[in-house]
Structure 1
Amino acid sequence: MQQLTRRARLAAAVLLLLVGCGTRLPAKDFAAPTGPPAGGGNTASDTGVTAGQIKVGIITSLTSPLGAEVLSGPRYGALAFFQALNAAGGLHGRTVQVVTCDDGGSGIGNQTCVHQLIDHDQVFALTAGSSLDYAGASYVSGKAVPDVGGQPIGTQYDRWPHLFEIYGNNAPRDGRSVGWDGTLYQTTEVYRFFKQRLNADRAAVVAYNQAESLSYAHQIEQGLAAEGYHVLTRTVDLALPAFQAVATALSADHTQLLFDAMDTRGNTALCQALDTAGVKLAAKVTNVQNWTQTVARDYQSAPGCRAVLWATSSSRNYADTQYPAVQAFRSAMQRYYPDRQPVMSAWELEGWAAAQWLTDAMASCGGALTRACVERFMDRDQPYDAHGLLIPTDFVRQPRPSGPTRACLDVARWQDSTPAGGPGWVTQVPDMDTNCFEVPQLPYQP
Structure 2
Amino acid sequence: MAVSGTLLSLCIVGCSNANNTSVAATCNAPGVTREQVKIGFVLSNSGMAAGILQAVRSGVDARLGVANAAGGVHGREIVYGWQDDESDPRINLKVSSDLVDNQNVFGLLEMTGAVGGSAEYLNRQGVPVVGRAIEPVWSEYRNMFSYANPVSRNAVSTFGTFAKSLGGTNAALVSIHAIEASRTLSDQLAQSLTSAGIEVVADLDYTPGASSPERVGQTIRDSQADVLLVTLAPQDAAAVRVGAVSAGSTPKVTLLPVGYDQKVLDQFGPGLAGTYVFLDMKPFEMDTPAHEVYRDAMARYAPELQPPEQDIALTSYITTDLLVRGLQEAGQCLTRDAFITNLRAVKDYDATGLLAAPVDLDASFGKPSTCYIFMRINPTGSSFDVVTPEPVCGNVLP
TM-score (norm 2): 0.81
Using the alignment, how far apart are the partners of 1:357 and 1:224 within structure 2? 31
Equivalent of 2:337 in 368, 372, 378: 372
Using the alignment, how far apart are the partners of 2:69 and 2:346 within structure 1? 32
RMSD over equivalenced CA pairs, Å: 3.4
Within the alignment, does 1:54 sit opposite 2:37 as a pair?
Answer: yes
Partners of 2:159 and 2:189 within 8 A in 1? no
Partners of 1:51 and 1:94 within 8 A in 2? yes
Pairs within 5 Å for 1:354-393: 354-380=319-345, 382-390=347-355, 391-393=357-359
1:397-430 CA-to-partner distances (Å, cap 9, x unmatched) read 68999xxx99321111234889xxxx44332235
**Residue 293 of structure 1: how far off its partner (Å):** 2.9
The alignment covers a number of residue pairs equal to 375
Pairs within 5 Å for 1:335-354: 335-342=300-307, 344-354=309-319
**Residue 145 of structure 1: how far off its partner (Å):** 1.4
Within the alignment, does 1:294 sit opposite 2:263 as a pair?
Answer: yes
What residue in structure 2 maps to residue 312 of structure 1? 278
Runs of 5+ in structure 1 lacking a partner? 1-37, 170-177
Using the alignment, how far apart are the partners of 1:383 and 1:163 within structure 2? 18
Partners of 2:60 and 2:316 within 8 A in 1? yes
Runs of 5+ in structure 2 lacking a partner? 1-16
Name the amino acid aligned to 1:225. Answer: T
Using the alignment, how far apart are the partners of 2:375 and 2:119 within structure 1? 33
**Residue 59 of structure 1: how far off its partner (Å):** 0.6
Pairs within 5 Å for 1:16-415: 40-42=19-21, 43-44=24-25, 45-46=27-28, 47-67=30-50, 69-148=51-130, 150-167=131-148, 184-196=153-165, 198-207=166-175, 217-233=186-202, 235=204, 238=207, 241-248=211-218, 250-251=220-221, 255-277=225-247, 279-287=249-257, 289-299=258-268, 303=270, 305-322=271-288, 324-342=289-307, 344-380=309-345, 382-390=347-355, 391-396=357-362, 407-415=370-378
What residue in structure 2 maps to residue 436 of structure 1? 393
Using the alignment, how far apart are the partners of 1:209 and 1:332 within structure 2? 38
Using the alignment, how far apart are the partners of 1:189 and 1:70 within structure 2? 25
What residue in structure 1 maps to residue 12 of structure 2? none
1:173-207 CA-to-partner distances (Å, cap 9, x unmatched) read xxxxx98xxxx2111201202322x2333433235
Using the alignment, how far apart are the partners of 1:259 and 1:270 within structure 2? 10
Instruction: Give the fraction of aligned pairs with identical amino acids, expressed as a percent.
Output: 23
Of Structure 1 and Structure 2, the greater helix share is in 2
TM-score (norm 1): 0.73
3-state secondary structure, aligned to 2:65:
helix
1:365-399 CA-to-partner distances (Å, cap 9, x unmatched) read 44332222222222216232221222322343689
1:37-64 CA-to-partner distances (Å, cap 9, x unmatched) read x953241432222222111221101112
Equivalent of 1:426 in 367, 385, 391: 385
